[in-house]
Each structure stands twice: as C-alpha cells, then as structure tokens.
Amino acid sequence: MKILEGLLTINGSDPYLDFGAFLAEEEAGGHANYDALLKGPKLKEQRTVSYRDRDGVRLPAKLVQRWEARTVALRFAIVAPDAATFERRYYGFLDFLRQGEDGYLMLHLKELSRTWRFYLTECSDYSQLTAFDSEVVGTFTATFCEPVPDFSAPVRTNPENRSDNG
C-alpha cells in the first residue's frame, strides 16, 4: 500500500518498506496510537514538609516542575504476501525494535512533524488477523519508555505562516 510509505520512520528507516510494519488501530477511524503519543507525562512529585502542629504541607516558594519518564504503548500491524515472508518480517521487526541505535529508537511521524526518543520495554497482545495460507496479517502492541519526555512547543521557522491564535 503506497499510502503507508514514509508516514513513520524509526531511526531513519521506513518500517513499512523494510518489514511491512505500520501503526494500526483496533477499529476503523480509531486514533489510540496518536492518543498514546500525545498524552502528556506525569509531573514529578514535589518535595513537601508536613509539620504535625500546622495545617497542610510546606513547599518551596518557587516550584520547579519536571516531567516523569513515560510509557507509550503503540499498536503495530505487519502484512506479508505469505507465511515465510511474514515470519521473516515479524521477527526481523521485533529485533529491529529491540536493538535500536545504541538501544534507542527515534520514532518520527510525518503527519505530526514530531520525533520521540524511546527504547523498547515489551511486546505483547499479538493477534493473528488472517490464516497463514495466503496474505498474512498480524498485530501486536509494542511498549516503549521515553526517559526524557519532550513536550516543548515545536520551533516555527516562518512566523508569518502561523495556524494558531498565538
């Protein structure tokens, strides 16, 4: 499917071209993958002091807010023309995600113009969608950790071409 080419890159490689792998949804029109990618991380807990003889807790005069590492689960599908190709693509893609580049994966979505730095923590929820007798399709969930979440606003190169109200 030509439409899937170039939508997602991982460490500069297109998983669809290399492994027949792409981000997939459980249902038509779903957006669980984007929901997971765009969900903000938790903030680190503030250090407090609780005095028995005072109400509430005491905090510093100036709070410094920092993100916790976050976990992101993405659903992938792999498609292949036959069982042998499917096995080669599936196991190859899992190994590709495991190894990364020095263990890290730079996942870039063209549609969002955003790149995330992850490492793989788990693969689960495998589901075989077709039989192994012709075109083979399977899906699974890959869970990643983003050790240092980056939710800074994208840098605009052309301030005249703004699409927001800011």
pLDDT of residue 5: 85
pTM for this one? 0.84
Give me the residues of the chain with pLDDT under 70, please: 1, 154-166
Radius of gyration of the chain (CA): 21
DSSP track, 62-124:
S----BPPEEEEEEEEEEESSHHHHHHHHHHHHHHHHHTBTTBEEEEEGGGTEEEEEEEEEEE
For the chain, give every domain's residue range.
2-40+67-146
pLDDT digits (tens, 9 = 90+) for 61-103: 999 999 999 999 999 999 999 999 999 999 999 999 999 999 9
Q: How many CB atoms lie under 10 A from the CB of residue 7?
A: 15
Residue 90 to residue 129: CA distance in whole angstroms: 14
pLDDT of residue 53: 95
Which DSSP category does 104 fall into? Answer: B
Structure token digits, residue 150: 């980056």
Tell me the C-alpha to C-alpha distance, in Å, between residue 84 and each of 7, 10, 49, 130, 136.
26, 24, 61, 14, 9
The correct CATH number of 2-40+67-146 out of 3.30.420.40, 3.40.50.300, 2.40.30.200, 3.40.50.1100 is 2.40.30.200
